[in-house]
């Protein structure tokens, strides 16, 4: 009997999926589909990719990766794509950045079960099983927030202002006003981790308008310093907010972002 039990245990181990096998869900409005680690690694277009200055690891990294647009059949350039991570991080990226690359290219990095990636610094855990990385990110001003790791799903969305009307500035403002420019910056940098007026997909950081907007309780100089380097204001080893240097967020964009936040402090809406 013990011999039979051992044989059954070995059989079950052989039939079980690899411990590191994972699934990425992609939903472009035509029905969700799941792609597994082994399925992606076995693709004919999977290749070795070197990222000289990786955003998450802060050093050169080498990955097995697939060009992301090859996985997005049916997506349109005018779409918005929502990338959701297992830790609650969610970032919206215009599909045009992926489908109509002009210098930068988006790749899905796939963690190989036999060659796991090193842990991230700062107690952030692992970056796998999937990670969106970019080659030549400076060519299209790809921000650090547009490198989601621990990726679990990608789905097509209607425009953000349609889904979350409470985050929109006053419609009477001119489209090229500083507040509207700041609204665009907010969507690109802050909305990946924060909600505003209770609206948004992310669950990583606090709401930026209710009960209080940061412009209501922080001096402008301190708020600027906090956005540039959060640890300069509050030292907290477990803090997850990244700093935005001038390469990631130009001074003019930071000015516009603060203008948007000040404007929204007068447009509070309960969820």
pTM above 0.75, yes or no: no
Helix (H, G, I), strand (E, B) or coil at 120: coil
Residue 191 CB neighbours (<10 A): 24
- The pLDDT assigned to 19 comes to 42
- The pLDDT assigned to 178 comes to 97
CATH 2.60.40.420 fits 161-265, yes or no: yes
Per-domain boundaries in the chain = 18-157, 161-265
DSSP labels, 222-265: HHHHHHH-GGGT---TT--PPP--TTTS-HHHHHHHHHHHHHHH
Helix 251-265 vs helix 178-189: crossing angle, to nearest 10: 100
- The pLDDT assigned to 258 comes to 97
Q: Which CATH architecture has domain 18-157?
A: Alpha-Beta Complex (3.90)
User: Is the peptide bond between 142 and the residue preceding it cis, with omega within 30 degrees of 0?
Assistant: no
Can you list the residues of the chain whose pLDDT is less than 70? 1-20, 237-239
Burial class for 123, CB neighbours closer than 10 Å (0-12, 13-18, 19+): exposed
Burial class for 271, CB neighbours closer than 10 Å (0-12, 13-18, 19+): exposed
Tell me: the pLDDT tens digits for 195-249? Answer: 999 998 887 889 999 999 999 999 999 999 999 998 887 777 666 787 888 888 8
- The pLDDT assigned to 237 comes to 66
- The pLDDT assigned to 13 comes to 37
- The pLDDT assigned to 71 comes to 97
- The pLDDT assigned to 242 comes to 79
- The pLDDT assigned to 94 comes to 87
| CB burial string 169-179: b at 16+ within 10 A, e below | beeeeeeebbb
CA distance 59 to 124: 16
- The pLDDT assigned to 20 comes to 52
- The pLDDT assigned to 234 comes to 74
């Amino acid at each position: 009997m013990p011999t039979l039990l051992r044989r059954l245990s070995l059989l079950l181990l052989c039939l079980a999926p690899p411990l590191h096998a994972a699934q990425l869900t992609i939903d472009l409005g035509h029905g969700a589909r799941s792609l597994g680690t082994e399925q992606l690694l076995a693709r004919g277009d999977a290749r070795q990719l070197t990222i000289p200055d990786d955003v998450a690891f802060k050093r050169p990294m080498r990955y097995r990766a697939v060009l992301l647009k090859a996985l997005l059949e049916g997506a349109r350039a005018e779409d918005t794509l929502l990338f959701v991570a297992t830790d609650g991080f969610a970032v919206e990226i215009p599909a045009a950045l992926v489908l109509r690359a002009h210098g930068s290219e988006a790749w899905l990095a796939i963690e190989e079960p036999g060659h796991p990636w090193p842990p991230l610094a700062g107690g952030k855990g692992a970056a796998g099983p999937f990670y969106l990385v970019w080659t030549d990110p400076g060519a299209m001003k790809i921000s650090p927030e547009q490198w989601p790791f621990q990726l679990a799903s990608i789905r097509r969305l209607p425009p953000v202002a349609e889904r979350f009307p409470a985050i929109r500035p006053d419609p009477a403002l001119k489209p090229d006003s500083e507040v509207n420019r700041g609204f665009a910056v907010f969507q690109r940098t802050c909305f990946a981790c924060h909600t505003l007026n209770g609206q948004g997909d992310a669950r990583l950081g606090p709401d930026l308008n209710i009960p209080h907007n940061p412009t209501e309780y922080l001096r402008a100089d301190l708020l600027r310093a906090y956005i540039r380097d959060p640890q300069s204001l509050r030292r907290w080893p477990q803090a997850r907010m990244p700093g935005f240097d001038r390469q990631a967020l130009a001074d003019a964009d930071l000015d516009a972002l603060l203008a948007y936040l000040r404007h929204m402090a007068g447009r509070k809406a309960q969820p």
